[in-house]
Amino acid sequence: MADLKSILSLLILQFIIFALVSASSEEAKEEFNEELLLKPLPDRKVLAHFHFDSRANLSTSNGGYHLHLFPKAIYQLVRYMNYNPCMQAIGNLSSYGDYRRASIFATISSSGRFKSFKARNLRKTIELESFIKMLDQTRLARINVTEFRLQYIANAEKLKIFAQPFHSQFSRVHKFHIREMELSFTQGRWNYERWGSFDPISSSNAKPPGVELWAVFDAPPPKVDALWKNLTHTLSGLFCASVNFLESSTSYSSPEWGFRASSGSLRYGTLPREAVCTENLTPWLKLLPCRDKAGLAELMDRPSIYRGFYHSQRLHLVSSDSASDAVLAIQLEQTLTVVLQPVRQTEAKSFKAISAMQPDWSLSSIFGRKVNKKCVLAKSSNVYLQLDRGLVSQMKNIWVKNMGTNPDDAAFKGAVRNPTFELSDAPDKVIKEVGNVENEESSLLYVFCIEKHAETKPFDLALTWKLPVVWSCSHAPLLANRFLVGSGNERGVIVISLKTINHSQSLVCTDTSEGRCALHINIFQVVPWYVKVYYHTLRIFIDGVIQPATNITTKMRVSPSEDKVSPGMLELALKFPCSMKSAALYLDFDKGFLHINEYPPDANQGFDIPSAVVSFPDFRSSLNFVEDSQPSPLMSRLQERSPTVAYTEVLLVPLTTPDFSMPYNVITITCTIFALYFGSLLNALRRRAGEEERLLKDRANRKLGMLPQILQKLLARLRGKPVDQHQQPSSLPSSTKHKLIFKVTLVALVAIAWHYYFR
Amino acid sequence: MPETSRMEKPLLGSLAETSGEVEELAAGESKPAPESDSESLDPSKMRKTKPGVKRLALTLSILICFLLGAPFLLKTVEIYRSPLPFKDMDSLSSSIESEPLLFPCQLQAVFLGFDDLTDAQQLGSSIADHMRKVAGDDRVCGSCGSNFNVSVFIESENDCVGSQNDGSSCSWKCGLLKHPYLEAKWKDDDLFDEFLDTVLLDNQKCSGSNGNVYSVVVVNRNEDVRVVVGKHRHGWITGKVSGQEAVVRIAEIFVNVFMNGGKEEGSIHGEFMPVGADGRVVLSFSLLNADPHDWIYDWDFQRVHESLLIPVIEALAPIANVSIESQILFHTPKSFLSHWDEHRRSYIFNTKDLPFFVNSNEWHLDTSIVAGGRSKILHIVVYIPSAKECPLLMQLPNGEISSTNSFISPMWGGVIVWNPSGCSDTSVGVHHSKRTIPFQDLQNIIEIFMGQLRQLFGLKSQSFYFGSSGKVNLLTSRSGFTKWELDVLSRQHACFNLQSCANTLGSLSRLVQSLPRMIIMDEIGKQVEYSLQAARLARSNASLGVYDDSAVSSRQARSLAEDAFFHPSIMSVSYYSFEHCFAVYSPFFLPVGLHVVLAVFKEWKRYKQEKSKYLAWKAMGIAS
């Protein structure tokens, strides 16, 4: 008995342990991290970069459709399979041969493979498997179960009635087949010159103004367009934005290598004029488990973040969902990048000092809020303060000046109070960048764990400058700008200019394979169809001297625009000599005409040409920090060697806008001319000149009424002839007078009747 | 106008000679011939020559060309309208309005152990009479009305009589109730229910009834009267009952339970079925952690879905296409304050607080991608209160505490408040601990949800029914809905769907006919056609008594009708209006038409005048 008891207890214990283990593994499936990176910018602004990372690893074999932490909407976007195990497709064979009044029930199991198909007849039940077999034998239909779509092969006429309800039932069951997707809402333009163009934040979070959406689909190329259209509609509903305008084929393109490497399943579209505001942020925040109720998102005070100089809200989704994989891994990365101007506190400092000093700031002064508590659902919740390489070297100089000694590395790292600035809270960790070029300083990262800092009082990191510092950010080799040349409404020139920022320096050598130093650049440009670019007019100037394009371009892919069908797209791979100081690309274009109903409501404002993307494939910006085994999502994102990317300005092209009442004017004028011509022709045909003359003479012989007499007088005076005086009735006969009065009264009566009738 | 210009060319050619003739004629007319007789030939009264018809013919031919061209012009500016079967649409809506769908009901009563009853035929007609009395005149949509058929069998120790009324007869194989284990099965309702089901299934050979036969078995035994309705389509009465009493009870069970679903006044009306216009329902389960700083609860919804909810979905399949999704939300406080009750040691909220319970500002129970445009989403919210208002209990208007601690909102869904065990104990408050709702509790929650779902569908959630003649016990099924309840729902749904389909099609037909210049796409025509087809199928299925197939095709008919009505091309306002057409064509046709008509009028007038002159001259000539 005792044995039995112990065995039982053991079993129970084992069960408990098993349950615990399984529970813990369950928890590990979905996780959420929140991070905030703060960085003082050289031009007295502060960059705040929120990074929220949700990931889910779901095994699809045992269902796994019920999520705990990961947002449902995004999950359904990635994998929307109708997991209802008893999804029914009902088709009526109402006018189909012998199967009159039969209904078909298709049962699809939760794993997506079909369990059973049965057809129900009113009289007897027949198995659908045999029914399908029969259909297959007659080569009428085949059911593709993974697609839930009925394909009919032949004899479609007969099957129409049968297939239609099937289709309507199943057409909604689809997946978006997204492998990777990025949607960004941006306001303002990233200032590459001042805020840096060669660090991970600028190359992955500086986005073109308006909306940018790109997605890589996991589907065969012919289906991609349909998926893209579905996706745009869903996203526009999800984020309260007019992303659905990207649905039309004139607004998106499919770059192959100019934007990022893909195999024909990438679609890219931008809406430069989309206004971004809170209505886009609220649904974005809803995807976070704590929304803005707790954690770092608490800082997002709408007025202060929209008051900033730059605001970019981004959503990046990666899913490793394939039919063969049993595990579905989704990673959702939500970032919000804002550049804010700290409000300067007027303290008792001399004006000169204030103007030279960087402004002091704290979280509460730039956002107007503090972090009250950690989001308990987040695995980690950190705030980072990043100091640029330039700033660190300046700090070292100041240290040397003040202390007289070269700072000890460790001491420097640990110092909260250093001669340059002072922090309100002591960082939990200071991480130094490694693997940098020797003669440059490495940037520093101060790490603050919210969990520790916000335990007792709200976390409010403050930075107070003690001495004025001037530094500059790290830059990409070239700074890209784009502008329009030319005037008039007929034609113009697009110019993309590339300049080195430090005019004294020559470019960094990246490729010396052919004995010559070369710099590789990719340019990707989408142009709407009404701006008709002549791609053969591409001229490349290097340092003001024209160069044959063939010497510079290594690869080029052009898909010319098709009127009202597709935009023009240019992908260019260029190779510049390192000695170059500046380069410019010229492209001529004609301005097209739009149909009257294709003009937007404010047509006179002009039309936007989306930003061009300039990427430097050999320059990979990454910040390598020495860190413990598991870097946080933001850290791993910073360490990723991503190619440096820069977006140019959006161009505004004024097109000829018609007078929108023009069609009616044209119609009216044309019709009037036609009517005149026709009327006079008809008149000429039926006029009897002789008879009319005779009649006129007759009438002249007769007595004239007063009005015609006056008219005649007038006419005669105009002609300059004296009036025939041979007949001059002094007074009108009374009968004519009466007639006239009668006519006038009749007209007046009619007018009055008309007036009253229509009141 | 290429026709007119082409036509005018030869006319122009003839102009010269015409005018020449006219000149000649005019000259002849104008100056009186000196050599003619001195008779005064007044040119304004007489003429010698026949008046010419060339100009008249010309102007007339132009007018005729215009008139002939008008249909062509109208044809070219015509807008495309797919021909809709207006007659069928109107006849469907009027026929459904005038005679609501009546389903045939096949009823069967079996009397066991009644030695005094012999005339089955007469018993059957008396049951039918009673049923008519109970049912009254009101025709509830989806009921059988008076379209039922009662067959009665009387089995006693030595006799077995069956009423054989009309063609759709059922047969009852006698002697099966003399089963050896019957005595043991009497005790357990569920066992007896299953036993009766097998017996009845084996025995029912009812022609033309499609197996949907409702039966009541009356067993005359020496014990208290007990009335039970099982999970399938039958009920039984045991105990000491007289034949007359049994007839009354049977009639009541047939009418109030089997035909009307045991509904009472005040339950949700059939029109407010929570099924979307496309026949889909999305059950969206949300677990709301009011304040995750106190505790975070998780649930194993996957298991619940697989073990508890799938039977429900399958049961409801003919009525609606149900899909299920779940999510867990945090930081979702309710929007009113509850008060502390020292006596019950818990926080209490009243029924009058319920309108403020659902906090739409903080509860982001989103619409889902799964739900298409016209699907219905039912939100099932499991609310876990925060530590400062735990346990949270609902007080009923009569002062008692609700046993389910939950409420429903028709057409929206339901809220279930779940209090974590031992939450009132303040010492337990281990912060940020993640816990899982025990499966036992989840089962309770799902049970409550089942009750809510039944209520949302308009069924009662009690396990008994009080009729005028006594209490009827109702057995509950594992899937939440018994077969006869599903039949009731199917019938109601079919009826309501057909009504709404007929309504929609009727309005569509009126709308399309009232806007003669609206573009009607082919797709709409096709949808209407399919909808009519499905409606026809549903009606024929209904008349055959196939309830669920009828529900399925009526659902389809409704969804297609709605699709047609809400087709995007109908919704767009910018159709080619008559005013626009008039504005475009009037600058040409108004002046030209006026010219042409006036010319014809003048020419005709002149021709008549000249002809009369000529005739006068002729007459004068004859006279002279």
Other Cβ atoms within 10 Å of A466 Cβ, number: 16
Q: Are residues B135 and B283 in the same domain?
A: no
pLDDT for position A407: 63
Q: How far is A524 from chain B (nearest CA, A)?
A: 34
Q: Is this prediction's pTM over 0.95?
A: no
Which sign does the torsion angle of CA A84, A85, A88, A89 carry? positive
Query: Of A57 and A210, which is predicted with more confidence?
Result: A210
Record: contact B436-A23, CB cut-off 8 A: yes
Both A329 and A195 in one domain: the answer is: yes
Q: Is B617 left (phi over 0), alpha (psi -120 to 50) or beta?
A: alpha
Residue B500 to residue B410: CA distance in whole angstroms: 19
Q: Do the chains contact at B19 and A689, CB–CB below 8 Å?
A: yes
Residues B279 and B299 in one domain: yes
Q: Minimal Cα–Cα distance from A108 to chain B, Å? A: 12
Give the integer Cα–Cα distance in Å for A79 and B212: 41
* pLDDT value of position A41: 92
User: Among B328, B436, B609, which would you mutate to test the A interface (most chain A Cβ atoms within 10 Å of its Cβ)?
Assistant: B328
Per the domain annotation, does B119 fall within a domain?
yes
Does the pLDDT of residue A1 top 80, yes or no? no
B111 belongs to a structural domain: yes
Contact A619, A198 (CB under 8 A): yes
Averaged pLDDT for residues B272-286: 84
A726 min Cα distance to partner chain B (Å): 22
pLDDT at residue number A650: 93
- The pLDDT, as a whole number, for residue B30 is 40
Helix (H, G, I), strand (E, B) or coil at A477: coil
Does A171 touch chain B if contact means CB atoms closer than 8 Å? no
Mutate to test the interface with B, among A86, A109, A160 (most CBs of B within 10 A): A86
Q: What does the angle CA B502 – CA B507 – CA B513 come to, to the nearest 5 degrees?
A: 125
Is A662 a residue whose pLDDT tops 70? yes
CA distance B498 to chain A (A): 17
B116 in the same domain as B248 = yes
A324 falls within a domain: yes
Whether A249 contacts A566, CB under 8 Å: yes
Q: Are B331 and A290 a contacting pair at CB < 8 A? A: yes
The reply to whether A168 touches chain B by the CB within 8 Å rule is yes
Structure tokens at B502: 């007929």
| Pair A160, A191 in one domain | no
Contact (CB<8Å) B305/A63: yes
Banded pLDDT at A697 (limits 50, 70, 90): confident
pLDDT digits (tens, 9 = 90+) for A381-423: 999 999 888 888 888 888 888 777 666 665 566 566 678 888 8
Strand B296-298 versus strand B339-341 pairing type: unpaired
The domain boundary, picked from A129, A148, A170, lies at A170
DSSP-derived pairing of the beta strands B105-112 and B213-220: parallel
pLDDT tens by residue, B322-336: 888 889 999 998 888
Based on the fold, state whether residues B535 and B436 are members of the same structural domain. Answer: no
DSSP B127-193: HHHHHHHHH-S---TTS-TT-EEEEEEEE-SS-EEE---SSS-----TTTT--TTHHHHHH-HHHHH
Most confident stretch, A26-35, A103-112, B603-612: B603-612
Query: Is the same domain home to B215 and B299?
Result: no
Cross-chain Cβ contact A101/B541 below 8 Å: yes
Q: How confident is the model at residue A701 (pLDDT cuts 50, 70, 90)?
A: confident
Helix (H) / strand (E) containing A53:
strand A46-59
Smallest Cα distance from B397 to chain A, Å: 35
The answer to whether residue B592 scores a pLDDT higher than 80 is: yes
CA closest to B299 among chain A residues: A68
Task: Give residue A718's pLDDT band: very low, low, confident or very high (50, 70, 90).
Answer: confident
- How many other CB atoms sit within 10 Å of the CB of residue A586? 16
Q: Are B482 and B231 in contact (CB under 8 A)?
A: yes
Residue B585 lies in a domain: no
Same domain for B305 and B240, yes or no, is no
Instruction: Determine, for residues A72 and B327 on separate chains, whether the beta-carbon distance falls below 8 Å.
Output: yes
The lowest-confidence range among A71-75, A114-118, A340-344, A391-395 is A114-118
> What was the pLDDT predicted at B532?
92
Residue B556 predicted with pLDDT over 60: yes
Res B19: pLDDT: 40
| Helical residues (DSSP H) of B290-438, grouped into ranges | 301-304, 310-315
Considering only CB atoms, A76 lies closest to which of B11, B368, B585, namely B368
- B53 and B119 fall within a common domain: no
Q: Find the CB nearest A90 among B43, B552, B583.
A: B552
Which amino acid, one-letter code, is at A478? Answer: L
Question: A15 touching B, CB under 8 A?
Answer: no
Q: For the residues A137-165, what does the mean pLDDT come to? A: 32
Alpha carbon of A30 to those of A26, A246, A729: distances in Å?
A: 8, 32, 112
- In this prediction, residue A327 carries a pLDDT of 72
ipTM of the prediction: 0.76
Residue where the block lists tokens 């989306």: A610
Cβ separation B293–A294 shorter than 8 A: yes
More confident residue, B617 or A411: B617
Among the partner residues B321, B327, B584, nearest to A67 by beta-carbon distance? B327
Residues A192 and A316 placed together within one structural domain of the fold: yes
Of B363, B356, B360, whose CA–CA distance to B332 is shortest? B363
In this structure, is residue B475 part of a structural domain? no
DSSP state of A68: S
pLDDT of A746 reads 92
Number of neighbouring beta carbons within 10 Å of residue A27:
15
Query: How many domains does chain A contain in total?
Result: 4
Sorting pLDDT into bands at 50, 70 and 90, what band is A46?
A: very high
Contact: A689, B364; criterion CB under 8 Å:
no
Measured distance CA(A463)–CA(A678) in Å, rounded = 86
Q: How confident is the model at residue A173 (pLDDT cuts 50, 70, 90)?
A: very low
Tell me if B370 and A82 make a contact (CB, 8 A cut-off). yes
pLDDT recorded at residue A538: 92
* β pairing state of A491-499 and A479-485: antiparallel
Nearest chain A residue to B17 by CA distance is: A685
Is residue A133 assigned to a domain?
A: yes
Say if A623 falls within a structural domain.
Answer: yes
* Mean pLDDT value of segment B5-15: 40
Q: Is the pLDDT of residue B415 over 90?
A: yes
Residues B428 and B442 reside in one and the same domain: yes
Residues of B in contact with A290 (CB under 8 A): 292, 330-331
Same domain, A63 and A102: no
Q: Which of B331, B432, B556 is opposite residue A293, by nearest beta carbon?
A: B331
Residue A18 at interface with chain B, using a CB cutoff of 8 Å? no
Three-class DSSP category at B447: helix
Task: Flag whether pLDDT at A20 surpasses 50.
Answer: no
Note the pLDDT of residue A482: 94
Predicted pLDDT at B177: 62
Q: What is the pLDDT of residues B105-161, one digit of tens each?
A: 888 888 887 777 777 788 888 888 888 887 776 666 777 777 788 888 887 766 677
Is residue A208 domain-shared with residue A311, that is, in the same domain? Answer: yes
Q: Do residues A592 and A665 share a domain?
A: no
- State whether B556 and A92 contact (CB < 8 Å): yes
Tell if the CB–CB gap between A68 and B328 is shorter than 8 Å: yes
Is a pLDDT exceeding 60 seen at residue A13? Answer: no
Is there a single domain that holds both residue A281 and residue A421?
yes
Judged by a CB distance cut-off of 8 A, whether residue A240 touches chain B is no
Number of domains, chain B:
4
Task: Write out residues 71-90 of A within 8 Å (CB-CB) of B.
Answer: 72-73, 76-77, 80, 82-88, 90
| Position B587 in a domain | no
Does residue B470 lie in a domain region? no
- Tokens 């047939």: give the residue: B254
CA closest to B307 among chain A residues: A85
* Banded pLDDT at B64 (limits 50, 70, 90): very high
Measured CA to CA, the distance from residue A679 to residue A298 in angstroms comes to 78
Domain boundary among A103, A138, A170: A170
Q: What confidence score (pLDDT) does residue A702 get?
A: 74
Residue contact B210–A122, C-beta within 8 A: yes
Residue A670 lies in a domain: yes
What's the pLDDT at B34?
A: 44
B23: which chain A residues are within 8 Å (Cβ-Cβ)? 689-690
Say yes or no: B283 and B356 in one domain: yes
- Between chains, do A674 and B30 touch, taking CB under 8 Å as contact? no
* Domain stop point among A401, A434, A465: A465
- For B363, nearest residue in chain A (alpha carbons): A286
Q: How far apart are CA B244 and CA A329, in angstroms?
A: 70
In this structure, of A557-561, A729-733, B280-284, the range with the lowest mean pLDDT score is A729-733
Q: Which of B259, B294, B320 is the last residue of a domain?
A: B259
Greater model confidence, B20 or A115 = B20
Closest CA to B578 of B622, B521, B535, B517: B517
Residues A388 and A427 occupy one common structural domain: yes
On whether both A306 and A424 belong to a single domain, the answer is yes
At residue A422, the 3 state secondary structure works out as: strand
Residues of chain B contacting A20 with CB distance shorter than 8 Å: none
Residue keyed to tokens 């199967």: A99
Token readout for A670 is: 């044309």
Beta-carbon separation of B370 and A72 below 8 A: no
Q: In terms of domains, do B547 and B605 share one?
A: no
- Does residue A383 belong to any structural domain of this protein? yes
Residues of chain B neighbouring A293 (CB-CB closer than 8 A)? 330-331
Judge if A596 and A680 occupy the same domain. no
Mean pLDDT is highest, among A136-150, B249-263, B397-411, for B397-411
The candidate with the shortest Cα–Cα distance to B446, out of B382, B363, B366, is B382
Q: Assign A54 a pLDDT band (cuts: 50, 70, 90).
A: very high
Predicted confidence at residue A430, as pLDDT, reads: 85
Comparing A57-61, A418-422, A476-480, B468-472, the range with the smallest average pLDDT is A57-61
Residue A691 distance to chain B (closest CA, Å): 6
Give mean pLDDT, residues A546-562. 90
For residue A25, pLDDT over 50 is answered with no
Nearest CA in chain A to B304: A66
CA A666-A669-A670 angle, to 5 degrees, is 80
Residue B611: pLDDT over 80:
yes
Q: Are residues A68 and A107 in the same domain?
A: no
A295 contact B CB<8A? no
User: What integer best gives the mean pLDDT of chain A?
Assistant: 76
Instruction: Please report which confidence band the pLDDT of residue A574 belongs to, taking 50, 70 and 90 as the band edges.
Output: very high
Give the whole-angstrom CA distance, residue A627 versus residue A431.
7
Mean local confidence (pLDDT), A587-594:
91
Whether B620 shows a pLDDT value over 70: the answer reads yes
User: Domain check: are B299 and B444 in the same one?
Assistant: yes
Residue ranges making up the domain that contains B439: 274-456
* Same structural domain, B191 and B327: no
Mean pLDDT computed over B405-427: 82
With b for 16 or more beta-carbon neighbours within 10 A and e for fewer, the A66-97 pattern comes to: bbbbbbbbbbbbbbbbbbbbbbbbbbbbbebe
**Is B464 a member of any domain?**
no
The pLDDT score that the predictor gives to residue A347 is 55
pLDDT-based confidence at B529, cuts 50/70/90? very high
Q: Kindly indicate the confidence band of residue A306, based on its pLDDT and cuts at 50, 70 and 90.
A: very high
Which among B229, B259, B289 is the end of a domain?
A: B259
Q: Taking a C-beta distance cutoff of 8 angstroms, is the pair A30, A379 a contact?
A: no
Token reading at A241 = 């934005």
Q: Does A100 touch chain B (CB under 8 A)?
A: no
Name the closest residue on chain B to residue A75, using Cα atoms: B369
For residue A94, the chain B residues in CB contact (below 8 A) are 533-534, 537
- Tell me if the bond preceding B104 is cis, omega within 30° of 0: no
For residue B58, pLDDT beyond 80: yes
- What pLDDT shows up at residue A624? 78
Chain B residues inside the 8 Å CB shell of A120: 549
- pLDDT tens digits, A186-229: 999 999 988 988 888 888 889 999 999 999 988 888 888 888 98
Confidence (pLDDT) at A629: 65
Residue B611, token pair as written in the block: 């002809």
Q: List beta partners, residue A337.
A: A49, A312
Residues A672, B317: C-beta atoms closer than 8 Å? no
Q: Domain span at residue A208? A: 28-77+176-465
Quote the CA–CA distance of A136 and A117 in Å, as a whole number: 14
Query: Do the Cβ atoms of A682 and B544 come within 8 Å?
Result: no
Confidence label for A109 from pLDDT (cuts 50, 70 and 90): very low
Residue B295 CA: distances (Å) to CA of A65, A291, A298, B234, B446: 24, 17, 20, 49, 22
Last residue of a domain, one of B227, B259, B291: B259
Is the pLDDT higher at A81 or at B482? B482
* Residue B254 burial (10 A CB sphere; 0-12, 13-18, 19+): buried
Q: For residue A377, give the nearest of B330, B540, B591 by CB distance.
A: B330
In terms of CA atoms, which chain A residue is nearest residue B325?
A66
- A377 Cβ under 8 Å from any chain B Cβ: yes
Pair (A586, A615) in one structural domain: yes
